[in-house]
Amino acid sequence: MSAEPTAGGPDSKGTIRVVQLYPRDMNIYGDWGNALVLRQRLTWHGYTPELLEYNVGDEFPEGVDIILGGGGQDSGQLVIQDDLQSRAGVLTDLAEDGAPMLVICGLYQLFGRFFKTRTGPVIPGIGILDVETHGTDERLIGNVKVTTDEFGEVLGYENHSGQTTLGSGVRPLGTVAKGTGNNSNDGHEGARYRNVVASYLHGSLLPKNPAIADFLIRTAAERKYGTFVPGTPDDRYSVLAREHAARRPR
């Protein structure tokens, strides 16, 4: 665990502590971009970001405001599984208490009940999300467009062979308009539970979907300080990047 230097000063609206889970083993597809976006947007909204990394064997940080988790390879999932089980309690308590979290791909799967790999072994999840994942031979790859109620159109890129089905304890993040999403059957992508957002989408997800980034920030600020006073981030490039990305083929 290590702290990044933080910005802010007497005018800061407060400090928001973001913890990225297992960046060493679960950051194969640029999910670092999500951490970077939160750090900058917190600054643009007038808050002081504090970015911490949590890796296997580290002490779990106190006073966590936002949790971020990325995708990894099967080998990365095997490396972290025991450590993740040992943190199931603290992560579950945070989620139940309404802490905002974003988990992508591999950690989305492990935040569920289990991941039954294609070759047989079952990797237990920590069960924060009522979902289960089954490994397949088919790799779902390509650009994705998802229609959501909460965040409008969500854009990203999927690359997974695990297929996830949702139980009654969660609702989907949205409905796929292009691409596959959770599985090749039901047209759903991602999962929502309390303030946990789970998704298969890389890209990274947050840069082109600032509505989700700002949801995480607003929720964290309200949970910690009672109110959220937004700043005025310049989202010109985000708008244009979204327009162009939406037109790219699958």
Partner 1 sequence: MLYFSIPLGKLVRRVSRLRGGGSALPGLVVEKIDPGFMRRTLSTLPHGVAVVSGTNGKTTTTKMVVELLESQGLKVFTNRTGSNFTRGVAAALLGEVDWRGRLKADVAVLELDEAHAVHFVNSVPPRYSLLLNVLRDQLDRFGEIDKTAQLLQHVAAKTTGTVVLNREDPRVARIAGTLTEQDVQYFGLDDSLLSTFPNDDDMRAAPGSPVPSSLPEKPPADVVLRRVGPDTADFEYDGVTVTTAMKLRGVYNIFNAAAALTLARSICGGGAATADHATLLTALSQVEPAFGRGESLTVDGQPLDLVLVKNPSGFRLGLKSFPAGGYATMIAINDNYADGRDMSWLWDVEFDSLRNGGVDQLTGSRAYDMALRLQYDEVPVGAVQPDVAPALAAFVREAKGRPKRIFCTYTAMLAIRRELSKITTVEVVS
The closest alpha carbon to 156, from 246, 234, 238, belongs to: 246
Stretch that binds partner 1, among 88-96, 127-135, 175-183, 240-248 (CB under 8 A): 240-248
CA dist 192 and 173 (Å) reads: 5
31 binds partner 1 (CB under 8 A): yes
Helix axes 210-225, 32-44, angle to 10 degrees: 60
Residue 2 CB, nearest distance to partner 1 (Å)? 4
Amino acid at 54: Y
Please indicate whether residue 160 is annotated as part of the active site. no
Using CA atoms, how far residue 163 sits from 60, 130, 143, 234, 250, in Å, is: 30, 14, 17, 36, 18
Can residue 28 be called a binding residue for partner 1 (CB under 8 A)? yes
Name the token pair of 124.
């237990």
Nearest CA to 29 out of 110, 106, 134 is that of 106
Please report whether residue 241 would count as binding partner 1 according to CB under 8 A: yes
Q: Which residues pair with 175 in a beta bridge?
A: 147, 188
Is 134 labeled as catalytic in the residue annotation?
Answer: no
Nearer residue to Zn ion within complex by CB, 71 or 210: 71
Contact residue for partner 1 among 74, 83, 130, 153 (CB under 8 A): 74
24 binds partner 1 (CB under 8 A): yes
Q: How many CB atoms lie within 10 A of CB 155?
A: 25
Residues in contact with partner 1, total (CB under 8 A)?
40
Q: Which does 105 bind (CB under 5 to 8 A by kind): partner 1, Zn ion, none?
A: Zn ion
Where do contacts with partner 1 occur on this chain (CB under 8 A)?
A: 2, 4, 23-24, 27-33, 36-37, 40, 53, 55, 73-75, 139, 141-143, 157, 159, 161, 202-204, 207-208, 234, 237-238, 240-241, 243-245, 248
Q: Which residues are catalytic?
A: 105, 202
